[in-house]
Amino acid sequence: MASRLAGQVVLITGASSGIGEALAREVVRRGGRVVLAARRTERLEALASEVRASGGEAIAAQCDVTRDGDVERAVEQARVAFGRLDIAIANAGFGVTGRVEDLSLDDFRRQLETNVFGALRTVKAALPELKRSRGGVALIGSASGYVAFPTMGAYTMSKFAVRALAETLRGELHAEGVAVTHIAPGFVESEIRRIDNAGKLRDGAPEPVPRWLVMPTEAAARQIMDAIVARRAEAIVTGHAKLGVSLARHAPGLLNAAIARLPRRSRGAGR
């Protein structure tokens, strides 16, 4: 499967940390070339330098998926540097937490702008090149795109929408040879649970999820890239995510009853 990625060009949004950073390293390990897109240019440049020092090929593209035109510029950088684009991974995102009645409409707008419209901007910017290469697009959703938990309404809404976008695109792009892969991770090692509702990283914030439940990013990246390279429709990543999604599909009543009995949690624990 690794050889099937050799020489291909992969654009990754949100590549400065977490799953995106691990995906970049995994692409290079398999012989692919990466376009690293994110807001934090110093991190991107450091990662690109690391890739090049190891013999790989990478370019850094400053990109905010909430701004019109940024992803288009990243795609153009890929075309100029490498002459093509084979895979686009819409990974950039964060999580707003809090009870629906306590969150403002701006909180919801901020969440949807990044997680939903950011993914949509990535798709629309990359599609002309992906159609030429008959490549693939991957949308990084979440197990929360299947299972809704209290205090996670804004994030869950966004990930349900990402899943709907993936399913819509799959039908629309099949005849044009573009594969669409929806990725639904559970808890993966990442900064996302230390980012506040304004999208700012809280340095030193504790990890609210038990360590034994969190999958290392390297392991998650391997599973994600296996699914993308195989042009699979979907991959559920982590055991607890597979359990949750299975219950949502086959025993929703049981799942809803269990969620209704969860103890009330503080805002921070809601992640």
Catalytic residue, chosen from 82, 94, 146, 155, is 155
Long-range CB contact pairs, 254-259, < 8 A, 24+: 255/147, 259/147, 259/148, 259/149, 259/150
Query: In whole angstroms, what is the distance from residue 82 CA to residue 97 CA?
Result: 40
Query: In whole angstroms, what is the distance from residue 241 CA to residue 142 CA?
Result: 8
Examine the residue annotation and report whether 155 is marked as an active-site residue of this protein: yes
- Spatial neighbors of 85 by CB under 8 A, at least 6 apart, are 9, 11, 35, 75, 78, 79, 126, 129, 130, 133, 135
Query: In whole angstroms, what is the distance from residue 170 CA to residue 75 CA?
Result: 21
| Secondary structure class of 110 (helix, strand, coil) | helix
- Spatial neighbors of 115 by CB under 8 A, at least 6 apart, are 93, 94, 155, 158, 159, 161, 162
Instruction: Say if CB 253 and CB 79 are below 8 A apart.
Output: no
Q: What is the DSSP string of 70-97?
A: HHHHHHHHHHHHHS---EEEE-------
Q: Residue 186: what are its φ and ψ, rounded to 5°?
A: -95, -135
Residues with active-site annotation: 155
